[in-house]
Chain A
Amino acid sequence: MARIKAPVVVTANRLGSGEVVYLSRDGRWQASMDAGQVFTELAEAEAALARHDNELEVVGAYLINVEVHGARVEGQHYREQFRSLGPSNYWHGKQTEANDAPV
């Protein structure tokens, strides 16, 4: 995996459903990466990760490199792009859902 450097977003999976989620500016876990808080300082992101990664709502929180295109936030690595959309062989997962941003 690529080295983590800003800008970054905090991501995890929901404990009960396994759904991919992103830490938003209001500290809630949201389904859309566009709703994720983009940290431009790595230290701030690491502090946010430390504050939130033991929350019961989620499992396996970590930081991902992102690119910001206006209101769109996109994972820099293709793995995170796939995670934010769903599989390519079926119209399943996040790609089927209306964007629940912005916050």
Chain B
Amino acid sequence: MHRYSEFDRDFVATRNAQYRDQVARRVAGELTEDEFKPLRLMNGVYLQLHAYMLRVAIPYGTLSSAQMRQLAHIADRWDKGYGHFTTRQNIQYNWPRLVDTPDILDALAKVEMHAIQTSGNTIRNVTADHFAGAAIDEVVDPRPYAELIRQWSTDHPEFQFLPRKFKIAVTGSAVDRAVVQAHDIGLQMLESRGELAVKVWVGGGLGRTPILGQVLQEALPIADLLPYLEAILAVYNLWGRRDNKYKARIKILVNAMGIDVFRREVQAAFETIAQDFSGEDQAVLEQLRQAFDFSAATDVDEAAYHQALAANSLFRQWVDQNVLPHRLSGYSIVTISLKKPGQTPGDASSDQMRGLADLAERYSHDELRVSHEQNLVLPHVALGHLPAIFDALTALDLQTANVGLISDLIACPGMDYCALATARSIPIAQQIAERFSQLGLEETVGAMKLKISGCINACGHHHVGHIGILGLDKGGVESYQITLGGDGSENASLGEKIGPGFSADDIVPAIERIVAHYLDLRSAETETFIQTLRRVGLASFRDAAYVDPATEVIHAS
């Protein structure tokens, strides 16, 4: 893993000291809220419905065991004993006191973490495939490139006051687990004519105006990556709208200019900017490749694994659902579901975090990952260690075998916490997961991406859910709008609204009717929900959703 340099440590320490002074001056009345607010936001501190919220960056979703233990310590010492892992691979604390936030930031700095650029109109935490460095389908580990971008973009003076926030995601595989087409810039590392190159999408984003990214470059040489990104940002900084925050994202600019004109502008900027890059970035990149390299062979005996598979049906079910093959022989990738039906998606208690840190240290080469789907990952686990891990997860109540199923759903904090929300999302998520779990239908339904947002800003990625739910305020009542047919994978598509919203009481039965309709229509058990929907079309699903609830129920299998 990447470690801080002395420069990084000094930089974070200086920023933390500045922030401590800013908080002291605010509390003493020397700064007004208008003066202070941008300063706290630069350090990830929001004021939400019930309390402040601190958003901590987890670059490309990678954590060491020491970092996870410190996150648990922070949860106990300054919050309510848990943390919320988000769709941007970050962690949020929902209850810190403002006056404690300087101490929290110092505690984070001890494990080389911070909350810088987790808010504001700047380049946010760079996200990546959560299986990076482990995925069997990967061309190259995307994290050295994500880290290079993080170093370049952190405190970059030109990009601290962009027209609007800016999100970059990187994948090293053609199988897109990072939703790159829904980002301001999406990057896919690939091989082109025997050389490593990068495909560049620009202008994707969800929110108020959902748009998939357009291809700006099919195969950009790696050496051009940073100057090219800088050129994109320079064009955006110059031409992006600042008169209307709803028109300020780069997607609006790209659509207004047209992709060809935008590409020409970027190319012109690139030719100037590239001259300032002396090759130092490539030297850093080479160091980063070595820092992230994982190629240790394993000689762990696999007998325990095979015995457990034969003897323990719960273990077998968990392996089938939550464990994937690794690119290295003898290893596997373990996804730990934070979606036990009835619990809050993405939440982990401090005890669970500490338990997972222990597992990572002992069994996963000291690494954990946070997925944008709000789960955690042990990326490098020897097959022979899987039974011990399953037992430990069971003791932590983290053995839920539902990864990729309907109860493995994404939900933003919604109006239970968020000041921007227009409706709650967590209770709907809980009810849907519990309902399908009770029906025993999760495995029958199979692969399903259900995503819930509590407002139009779409932190819950509802536009790219096979089933998306958007919570709105309709005349002072929570109302839930369904979209169908979204897809965040390499076959990306945006969901389509099916009609008027449902009440909080009616939304779960409506989802049930849609799923029942799929089970009726699918051509074979192997045809997934999204495949059936694409084959059959939206209309009949719409009809199914709006039939009289009294006439249709799913029967438990």
Interface residues, chain A, CB within 8 Å of chain B?
1-2, 13, 15-20, 54, 56, 59-60, 76-79, 82-83, 86-90, 92-94
Q: Are A87 and B476 in contact (CB under 8 A)?
A: no
B303 within 8 A of A: no
A15 to B52, CA, bound (A): 9
Q: Are B27 and A18 in contact (CB under 8 A)?
A: no
CB < 8 Å: which of A18, A56, A83, A86 contacts B47?
A: A18
Q: Are A20 and B50 in contact (CB under 8 A)?
A: yes
Residues of B within 8 A of A19 (CB): 50-51
Q: Are A18 and B416 in contact (CB under 8 A)?
A: no
B415 within 8 A of A: yes
- Name the CB-closest residue of B to A93: B50
Known: A16-B98, A87-B417. A59 touches B476 (CB 8 A): no
Known: A60-B33, A82-B416, A88-B426. A17 touches B476 (CB 8 A): no
Chain B residues 71-97 with CB under 8 Å of chain A are: 80, 94-97
- Name the CB-closest residue of B to A80: B49
Residues of A within 8 A of B527 (CB): none
A54 to B31, CA, bound (A): 12
Residues of B within 8 A of A86 (CB): 50
Mind listing 19 A-B residue pairs with CB under 8 Å? A1-B473, A13-B51, A17-B97, A18-B48, A59-B47, A60-B47, A77-B476, A78-B476, A78-B477, A78-B478, A79-B473, A82-B415, A88-B426, A89-B426, A89-B427, A89-B430, A90-B80, A92-B95, A94-B50
- Name the CB-closest residue of A to B80: A92
B424 within 8 A of A: yes
B99 within 8 A of A: yes
Residues of B within 8 A of A88 (CB): 416, 424, 426-427
Residues of A within 8 A of B473 (CB): 1, 79
Q: Are B80 and A79 in contact (CB under 8 A)?
A: no
**CB of B22, distance to nearest CB on chain A (Å):** 13
Question: How many residues of B are in contact with the other chain, CB < 8 A?
Answer: 30
Q: Are B50 and A15 in contact (CB under 8 A)?
A: no
A-B contacts counted at CB < 8 A amount to 73
Residue of B48, B427, B476 with highest tally of chain A CB at under 10 A:
B476
**CB of A60, distance to nearest CB on chain B (Å):** 7
Interface residues, chain B, CB within 8 Å of chain A?
26-27, 29, 32-33, 47-52, 80, 94-99, 344, 415-417, 424, 426-427, 430, 473, 476-478
- A interface, over-half SS: loop
A54 to B424, CA, bound (A): 31
| 9 A-B pairs with the lowest CB-CB distances in the bound complex, closest first | A87-B416, A18-B51, A18-B52, A17-B97, A89-B344, A89-B426, A56-B29, A16-B99, A93-B50
CB < 8 Å: which of A15, A77, A89 contacts B416?
A: A89
Residue of B80, B95, B477 with highest tally of chain A CB at under 10 A:
B95
Q: Are A82 and B51 in contact (CB under 8 A)?
A: no
**CB of A88, distance to nearest CB on chain B (Å):** 5
Q: Are A13 and B47 in contact (CB under 8 A)?
A: yes
Known: A20-B50, A87-B416, A87-B417. A15 touches B476 (CB 8 A): no
Residues of A within 8 A of B51 (CB): 13, 17-19, 93
Q: Are B47 and A16 in contact (CB under 8 A)?
A: no
A56 to B31, CA, bound (A): 10
- Name the CB-closest residue of B to A87: B416
A77 to B48, CA, bound (A): 17
- Name the CB-closest residue of A to B51: A18
A90 to B473, CA, bound (A): 23
Q: Are A15 and B26 in contact (CB under 8 A)?
A: yes
Known: A18-B97, A79-B415, A82-B415. A87 touches B29 (CB 8 A): no
**CB of B433, distance to nearest CB on chain A (Å):** 12
Known: A76-B476, A77-B476, A86-B50. A59 touches B97 (CB 8 A): no
Q: Are B50 and A83 in contact (CB under 8 A)?
A: yes
Residues of B within 8 A of A83 (CB): 49-50
A16 to B24, CA, bound (A): 10
**CB of B324, distance to nearest CB on chain A (Å):** 30
A92 to B416, CA, bound (A): 11
A94 to B50, CA, bound (A): 9
Given contacts A16-B99, A82-B416, 11 further A-B contacts (CB under 8 A): A13-B47, A15-B27, A16-B97, A17-B97, A18-B48, A18-B52, A59-B47, A78-B478, A79-B49, A87-B50, A88-B424
